[in-house]
Amino acid sequence: MRWGLGVLFSLTTWLNGQAQIDYHALRLAMVENQLMERDIYDRATLRAISKVPRHLFVPKEQQVYAYSDSPLPIGEKQTISQPYMVAYMTQAIKPKSTKKVLEIGTGSGYQAAVLAEIVDSVYTIEIIPELGKRAKKLLDDMEYGNVVTKIGDGYHGWEEHAPFDAIVVTAGAEEIPKPLIEQLKDGGRMIIPVGPHHGIRDLILLTKNRGKIKTKNMMSVRFVPFTRQ
Ligand code: SAH
């Protein structure tokens, strides 16, 4: 099925003059066309993304675009990442063999929810209080009991819950924060966009094995900036 307005139209029915969009069908089409047709093959990742109602994580006026192939504004000049990027970062940490994940940049809470479908516990930190509070309420309402949220500067990680099997950073950093490397478990994986402020960044996969740090550049990406308090 080709993605486009035609798909949206064919999945819309009208009830009492109100458009009823079949979000479930849109979501499955997204998984097929945007993820499986590219390089997302991890079954746990595909299953999680097929399940999480992404449209509930974006503002009302953006809901019809929730399953399109792009990032979307979520307020406070921040964005929810493109679905493919969420899938790619989730797959990159090998979530099935991961128990405890730290996410930096809660934003809408969507990436945290996707991770929470697969791993035992998700710790997520957001620097903008309005976003952090909104995401916490939504995740609580959706009964994601295995997500713990916090408002603060994620640069410092979350010492009291460290070490983490994996760390997912969803804001573009200028360098990899040292505390995050320290809080990564031996054998763990971190995925983080790194590069100049407001520029094109490298999506880096960092691994730690017997204390040895290795980094690999996976692709060029654009992300909202990692800010400091
Ligand atoms: N994972 C989010 C994407 C959010 S965009 C989602 O699924 O919706 C990146 C987020 O990182 C923004 O909300 C931004 O405010 C936040 N951020 C930027 N710098 C941060 C920092 N130092 N600590 C914690 N969060 C930060």
Domains of the chain by start residue, with CATH? 5-221 (3.40.50.150)
Query: In a mutational test of the pocket of ligand 1, which residue from 101, 126, 131 has the highest number of ligand atoms less than 8 Å from its CB?
Result: 126
Q: Which residue has the higher pLDDT, 5 or 158?
A: 158
Question: What pLDDT is attached to residue 61?
Answer: 95
Helix runs in 117-197, H state only: 129-141, 178-182
Cα(3) to ligand 1 centroid in Å equals 29
pLDDT of residue 107: 98
The answer to whether 195 and 202 are in contact (CB under 8 A) is yes
Question: Residue 18 has what pLDDT?
Answer: 74
* pLDDT tens column, 167-224: 999 999 999 999 999 999 999 999 999 998 778 999 999 999 999 999 999 999 999 9
Q: Is the CB of 158 under 6 A from ligand 1?
A: no
Cα–ligand 1 centroid distance for 116 (angstroms)? 17
| Per-residue model confidence as pLDDT tens digits over 13-45 | 777 777 788 999 999 999 999 999 999 999 999
- In single-letter form, the type of residue at position 97 comes to S
Task: Give the residue, by CA position, lying nearest to ligand 1 atom 13.
Answer: 107
Which atom of ligand 1 is found nearest the CA of 153? 23
Give catalytic residues, as residue numbers. Answer: 81
For residue 163, cis peptide bond before it (omega within 30 degrees of 0): yes
What confidence tier does 6 reach under pLDDT thresholds 50, 70, 90? low
Question: Which residues, at least 6 apart from 143, have a Cβ–Cβ distance to it below 8 Å?
Answer: none
pLDDT tens track for 84-100: 999 999 999 999 988 99
Residues 108-161 pLDDT 10s: 999 999 999 999 999 999 999 999 999 999 999 999 999 999 999 999 999 999
Asked whether the predicted pLDDT for residue 1 surpasses 50, the reply is no
Report angle CA 114, 93, 34 to the nearest 5 degrees.
55
SS3 126: strand
Burial of 219 (0-12, 13-18, 19+ CB in 10 A): exposed
Residue closest via CA to ligand 1's atom 4 equals: 107
Return the pLDDT at 229: 83
121 contacts 99 by C-beta, under 8 angstroms: yes
pLDDT of residue 226: 96
Residue-wise pLDDT for 39-91, tens only, equals 999 999 999 999 999 999 999 999 999 999 999 999 999 999 999 999 999 99
Number of the ligand 1 atom closest to the C-alpha atom of 110: 7
